[in-house]
């Protein structure tokens, strides 16, 4: 949403200022140069990121135009779910949650929290480590190390599309210069024309540089930046779950374990202690 607002502000201020200054907007419409810039940049982009990286890119780029799934409400559901699971395990034993983690969609606990249940990556992360806790095959240090490794891998995988889109943004000004140079070459071939016509050709050539820079910094680079913010938000979810589970493994009560997770959140998403306590009470009463 905000990226579209940013695009609107960029277009309105740049082209609006140009028109107010007396410029002719039609002079900036150079479809051939757009084809050269987009075609050259996309060709290089495809050559460097074709195959497996492209799958991640085609999923990550459209996601930035949607609202972020990481919200305070999502964390509230996560905390309530984790509290209920850990409370059940503490009262009835770890084996009592085996059925819940083996088939999360059929679990009465998970079904109460649809925002969490619909994110299969988060559900898999929770169920995998709860399964390890049930089996008792790992000590706390080994489990924490494995969690850190998985979180780092998730972060590294998420940065691959970011680097590709940022590389596209970095390259577009250069392709704009290529289009401009080719326009200048055309001008040099046309020196026999009168100055009024040469001026038009030179203006068209300069548009290539303008478009390359505008498309890069005004349109493509913001996508890469938004992808970084989205990735950081998603990574915090896993760190939060890690803190809750590790606190539980080390003997903390469910309420205290959830508090460890709350402290892992950014301040913009973190509920207060009282808010969280009230939400858990309401969730348990349903």
Q: What is the pLDDT of residues 219-260, one digit of tens each?
A: 999 999 999 998 998 899 999 999 999 999 888 998 899 999
pLDDT in tens, 34-71: 889 989 988 988 888 877 778 888 888 888 888 778 88
pLDDT score of 136 more than 80:
no
More confidently predicted of 197 and 137: 197
pLDDT in tens, 153-189: 988 888 889 989 999 999 999 999 988 888 888 888 7
Q: How confident is the model at residue 286 (pLDDT cuts 50, 70, 90)?
A: low
| Residue 2 belongs to a domain | no
| Residue 142 belongs to a domain | yes
| Residue 11 belongs to a domain | no
Q: What is the mean pLDDT of the chain?
A: 87
Domain span at residue 225 reads 27-285
| Residue 57 belongs to a domain | yes
- Report the distance separating Cα 180 and Cα 79, nearest Å: 56
Percent above pLDDT 70 for the chain: 98
| Residue 228 belongs to a domain | yes
pLDDT score of 137 more than 80:
no
CA-closest candidate to residue 125, choices 87, 84, 153:
153
Give the model's pLDDT for residue 285. Answer: 66
Give the model's pLDDT for residue 215. Answer: 92
| Residue 123 belongs to a domain | yes
Question: How much is the pTM?
Answer: 0.83
- As for how many domains the chain has, the answer is 1
| Residue 255 belongs to a domain | yes
| Residue 19 belongs to a domain | no
Find how far residue 69's CA is from the centre of its chain: 10
Give the model's pLDDT for residue 179. Answer: 87
Residue range 202-224: average pLDDT?
89
Kindly list the distances between the CA atom of residue 57 and the CA atoms of 20, 35, 85, 220, 233, in Å, as whole numbers in the listed order.
39, 22, 35, 13, 18
């Amino acid at each position: 949403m905000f990226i579209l607002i940013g695009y609107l502000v960029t277009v309105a201020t740049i082209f609006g200022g140009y028109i107010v200054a007396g410029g002719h907007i039609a002079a900036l419409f150079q479809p051939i140069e757009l084809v050269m810039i987009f075609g050259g940049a996309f060709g290089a982009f495809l050559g460097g990121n074709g195959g497996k990286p492209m799958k991640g890119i085609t999923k990550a780029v459209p996601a930035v135009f949607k609202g972020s799934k990481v919200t305070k409400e999502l964390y509230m559901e996560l905390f309530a779910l984790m509290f209920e699971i850990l409370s059940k395990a503490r009262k009835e034993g770890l084996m009592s949650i085996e059925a819940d983690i083996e088939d999360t969609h059929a679990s009465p606990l998970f079904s109460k929290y649809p925002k969490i249940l619909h994110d299969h990556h988060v559900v898999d992360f929770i169920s995998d480590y709860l399964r390890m806790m049930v089996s008792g095959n790992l000590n706390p240090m080994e489990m924490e190390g494995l969690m850190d490794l998985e979180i780092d891998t998730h972060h590294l995988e998420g940065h691959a599309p970011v680097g590709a889109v940022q590389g596209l943004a970095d390259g577009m000004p250069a392709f704009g210069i290529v289009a401009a140079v080719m326009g200048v070459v055309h001008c040099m071939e046309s020196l026999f024309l009168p100055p009024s016509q040469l001026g038009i050709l030179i203006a068209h050539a300069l548009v290539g540089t303008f478009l390359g820079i505008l498309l890069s910094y005004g349109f493509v680079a913001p996508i890469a930046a938004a992808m970084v913010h989205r990735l950081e938000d998603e990574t915090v979810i896993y760190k939060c779950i890690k803190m809750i589970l590790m606190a539980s493994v080390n003997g903390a009560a469910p309420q205290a374990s959830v508090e460890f997770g709350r402290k892992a959140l950014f301040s913009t998403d973190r509920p207060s202690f009282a808010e969280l306590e009230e939400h858990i009470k309401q969730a348990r009463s349903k």
